[in-house]
Chains A and B, each alone.
Chain A
Amino acid sequence: MRVVFRDKSWELEGKMTVKKMLEQVGVIPVTVLVVRNGKLLTEDVLLEPDDEVKLHAVISGG
Chain B
Amino acid sequence: MKCNKCAQRAVFTMRHYKLSLCETHYMEWFVSHTGQTIQKYHLLRPDERVLIAVSGGKDSLSLWDVLIRLGYAVDGLYIDLGIDGGFGYSALSHQKIDAFMAGHPETRLHVVDLAAEYGATLPQIAGRKRRGREKPCALCGLIKRHEMNRIAQAFGYDVLVTGHNLDDEAAVLFSNVLHWHTGYIARQAPVLEERTGLARKVKPLCRAYEREVAAYALIRGIDYIYEECPYVEGSRTLMYKGMLDQLEEEAAGTKLQFYVTFLHAKKDGFFRDEEALVELHPCDTCGQPTIAPGSCAFCRIWKEPER
On chain B, the residues within 8 Å of A59 by CB distance are 167, 210, 238, 241-242, 245
Question: Which positions 21-44 of chain A face chain B at CB distance < 8 Å?
Answer: 28-31, 33, 35, 39-44
- Docked-complex contact A33 and B249, CB < 8 angstroms: no
B12 proximal to A (CB < 8 A): yes
- Docked-complex contact A60 and B228, CB < 8 angstroms: yes
Q: List 12 additional contacts besides A40-B23, A56-B218, A62-B237; criterion CB under 8 Å.
A: A28-B249, A29-B249, A30-B211, A30-B245, A30-B248, A35-B218, A39-B11, A59-B245, A60-B58, A60-B228, A61-B229, A62-B168
Inter-chain residue pair count (beta carbon < 8 A): 63
On chain B, the residues within 8 Å of A30 by CB distance are 211, 245, 248-249
On chain B, the residues within 8 Å of A33 by CB distance are 211, 214-215, 218
- Docked-complex contact A42 and B10, CB < 8 angstroms: yes
On chain A, the residues within 8 Å of B214 by CB distance are 33, 56, 58
- Docked-complex contact B232 and A61, CB < 8 angstroms: yes
Instruction: Jot down 8 A-B pairs with beta carbons below 8 A, ordered by A.
Output: A28-B245, A30-B211, A30-B248, A40-B215, A42-B20, A59-B238, A61-B233, A62-B59
On chain A, the residues within 8 Å of B246 by CB distance are 28
On chain A, the residues within 8 Å of B248 by CB distance are 30
B219 proximal to A (CB < 8 A): yes
B interface residues (Cβ-Cβ under 8 A, vs A) = 1, 10-13, 20, 23, 57-59, 164, 167-168, 171, 210-211, 214-215, 218-219, 228-229, 232-233, 235, 237-238, 241-242, 245-246, 248-249
On chain A, the residues within 8 Å of B228 by CB distance are 60-61
On chain A, the residues within 8 Å of B13 by CB distance are 42-43
7 smallest A-B Cβ distances: which pairs? A61-B232, A40-B11, A58-B211, A58-B214, A42-B1, A62-B168, A44-B1
